[in-house]
A and B are shown apart, each in its own frame.
Chain A
């Protein structure tokens, strides 16, 4: 029998309903697995194992597993406020006097209502700024497939945790690829929903018009299960859409006959990594074999997505980071001689270099004399990118591309080159600009055994279509069942 910690949510729910095993046994299996492997990975930064086991026992006492998430262990990225659990955004700003929220984020609250049990907080780049989980104040998360390499970021802890079977799913956030990229590096699946599909309330903000809340799972079915539980309008987040939540799981037919797939030429750059290109094109052929049709399309403004992101994101970051002034929470300063000096010392003592860089780029881009040239121009380019996708979705139903230009890079590879790190996002920022949903699903391995991710993009509110395409592809291949050797 498959080890309990390796089960999918769907399989675990079947087992719990059939009383093949108990929620406490499932939880203990994940805890034991985490104790065994997390030392090598550093995916978990705040453990909540005792409380999780208590909750699992209560679930057994209650005996109601009609909800597919009842008793299912998960990790929450360390930006999701959970009442009574340390939430530090992996930043020294919130670590010194450890921030323990007195309230739950809407997402963890919805998961709790569905019966899922958080086992702790997953490692992230500091305030989710990064593509490798290396800027975390707790140190990097290692890739379970090769621990000399990064797990990706910023949701590296979430992706590694799922890949290493420390939990059955995890919550991540995707602002510039931070769910999709680590999922792609770790051979797991992750979805960035349509902006406004899920609620950002109670999640430490990075860039308010770009942040999205989404799960990292083992399969498309599991993503559908979690997405259904966490989606929907939230009065506490005015940017959530008043759009009904489809029954994502029951819409997974696996049938893609007649599905029109677009392959955007701008995502297949001359000289790109041959293994990555090969794996993605092969995936398109698999879907074609299942009855889909493939068309070459153009998204002309693709190359401007990442530069636009690196103007808009830091600008919004500079605004969102202003709250960390050492007053209501956070790092303090001891010898300040005035309030302003106190702010400067508290902030500078707490924030890491990447956060400072982004605050400064944003402050510059928003300052008098530069606002039109940078911020306003980026917002206009954003409109052009959005139009490219709207135009494309008139003729195709989904769009395929690689997730990352290469498989996982080594820890420290981009240490002194911020722009090289930003370029890791080149395939992941167009969707952010356009506010459309996109997921990453495993599509193969490099010759050296490193996972390669396939990105599937859809029109706004089109999560059901992209999940179904991922589901069909998954059923015709076997990548999601592969496990790292830990």
Chain B
């Protein structure tokens, strides 16, 4: 399974990464060899085997829908970690519309 430069550009777009032409060429080769390595999994007959998503058998771990007594952090302290301007306790993001 060999990845073409177009394959790499497509994956990069899905992953919201922008790559230079050099990186596209480098990654096409490296990703091909990584996928070549993991292809060994095809040898395993997994008919009838269920998938493991979580190793310790937990599911549907709930808690009561109640407010915590103490907040883990203040909203303004959390907003302060943003690199973008904060206005009115909100992060000003670049426009989605250009």
Report how far A360 CA is from B16 CA in the complex, Å: 10
Chain A residues with Cβ below 8 Å from B61 are: 238-239
On whether the beta carbons of B51 and A382 are closer than 8 Å, the reply is yes
Q: Is A53 an interface residue (CB 8 A)?
A: no
Q: Is B87 an interface residue (CB 8 A)?
A: no
Q: Is A295 an interface residue (CB 8 A)?
A: no
On whether the beta carbons of B44 and A381 are closer than 8 Å, the reply is yes
On whether the beta carbons of A460 and B50 are closer than 8 Å, the reply is no
Number of interface residues of A (CB under 8 A): 73
Residue of B nearest to A311 (CB): B38
Q: Is B67 an interface residue (CB 8 A)?
A: no
Residue of B nearest to A94 (CB): B81
Chain B residues with Cβ below 8 Å from A434 are: 55
Determine how close the nearest CB of chain A comes to the CB of B48; give it in whole angstroms. Answer: 9
Q: Is the interface of B mostly helix, strand, loop or mixed?
A: loop
Chain A residues with Cβ below 8 Å from B73 are: 102-103
Chain B residues with Cβ below 8 Å from A378 are: 38, 41
**With known contacts A347-B16, A367-B14, A196–B49 Cβ distance under 8 A:** no
Chain A residues with Cβ below 8 Å from B55 are: 195-196, 209, 386, 433-435, 460
Chain A residues with Cβ below 8 Å from B78 are: 102, 328
**With known contacts A329-B82, A332-B84, A339–B94 Cβ distance under 8 A:** yes
Report how far A322 CA is from B15 CA in the complex, Å: 8
On whether the beta carbons of A327 and B52 are closer than 8 Å, the reply is no
- Select B30's contact among A196, A308, A418, beta carbons within 8 Å: A418
Q: Mark B6-21, 1 if CB is under 8 A from A, else 0.
A: 0010011011111100
Determine how close the nearest CB of chain B comes to the CB of A428; give it in whole angstroms. Answer: 15
On whether the beta carbons of A363 and B15 are closer than 8 Å, the reply is yes
Report how far A434 CA is from B78 CA in the complex, Å: 36
On whether the beta carbons of B51 and A338 are closer than 8 Å, the reply is no
Q: Is A235 an interface residue (CB 8 A)?
A: yes
On whether the beta carbons of A361 and B49 are closer than 8 Å, the reply is no
On whether the beta carbons of A384 and B46 are closer than 8 Å, the reply is yes
**With known contacts A310-B38, A360-B8, A418-B34, A380–B51 Cβ distance under 8 A:** yes
On whether the beta carbons of B38 and A327 are closer than 8 Å, the reply is no
Q: Is B74 an interface residue (CB 8 A)?
A: yes
Interface residues in A89-139 by Cβ distance below 8 A to B read 96-97, 99-103
Number of interface residues of B (CB under 8 A): 53
**With known contacts A209-B53, A238-B61, A338-B98, A304–B30 Cβ distance under 8 A:** no
On whether the beta carbons of A332 and B83 are closer than 8 Å, the reply is yes
On whether the beta carbons of B96 and A339 are closer than 8 Å, the reply is yes
Determine how close the nearest CB of chain B comes to the CB of A82; give it in whole angstroms. Answer: 13
Interface residues in A321-351 by Cβ distance below 8 A to B read 322, 325-332, 336-345, 347-348, 351
Residue of B nearest to A418 (CB): B30
Interface residues in B63-95 by Cβ distance below 8 A to A read 63, 72-74, 77-78, 80-84, 91, 93-95
- Select A361's contact among B23, B34, B58, beta carbons within 8 Å: B34
On whether the beta carbons of B49 and A380 are closer than 8 Å, the reply is yes
Chain B residues with Cβ below 8 Å from A361 are: 31, 34-35
Determine how close the nearest CB of chain A comes to the CB of B68; give it in whole angstroms. Answer: 9
Q: Is A301 an interface residue (CB 8 A)?
A: yes
Determine how close the nearest CB of chain B comes to the CB of A127; give it in whole angstroms. Answer: 14
Determine how close the nearest CB of chain A comes to the CB of B10; give it in whole angstroms. Answer: 9
Report how far A351 CA is from B23 CA in the complex, Å: 13
Chain A residues with Cβ below 8 Å from B43 are: 304
Determine how close the nearest CB of chain B comes to the CB of A391; give it in whole angstroms. Answer: 14
- Select A239's contact among B15, B17, B27, B58, beta carbons within 8 Å: B58
On whether the beta carbons of B44 and A360 are closer than 8 Å, the reply is no
Chain B residues with Cβ below 8 Å from A393 are: none
Report how far A372 CA is from B42 CA in the complex, Å: 11
On whether the beta carbons of B17 and A344 are closer than 8 Å, the reply is yes
Q: Is A66 an interface residue (CB 8 A)?
A: no
Residue of B nearest to A195 (CB): B55
- Select B49's contact among A100, A235, A241, A384, beta carbons within 8 Å: A384
Interface residues in A269-310 by Cβ distance below 8 A to B read 301, 303-304, 307-308, 310
On whether the beta carbons of B15 and A326 are closer than 8 Å, the reply is no
On whether the beta carbons of A339 and B95 are closer than 8 Å, the reply is yes
Determine how close the nearest CB of chain B comes to the CB of A306; give it in whole angstroms. Answer: 8
Chain B residues with Cβ below 8 Å from A331 are: 83
User: Which residues of A come within 8 Å of B, CB atoms?
Assistant: 96-97, 99-103, 194-196, 209, 235-236, 238-239, 241, 301, 303-304, 307-308, 310-311, 318, 322, 325-332, 336-345, 347-348, 351, 356-357, 359-361, 363-364, 367, 373-374, 376-384, 386, 418-419, 422, 433-435, 460
7 A–B contacts, CB within 8 A, in A order: A310-B37, A328-B81, A342-B94, A344-B18, A364-B31, A379-B53, A382-B52
Instruction: Please list the 4 inter-chain residue pairs (A to B) with the smallest Cβ-Cβ separation, ordered nearest first.
Output: A435-B55, A379-B51, A102-B77, A380-B46
Known: A341-B18, A435-B55. 11 other contacts (CB 8 A): A102-B73, A196-B56, A239-B56, A301-B44, A308-B38, A308-B41, A331-B83, A339-B96, A360-B12, A383-B49, A384-B46
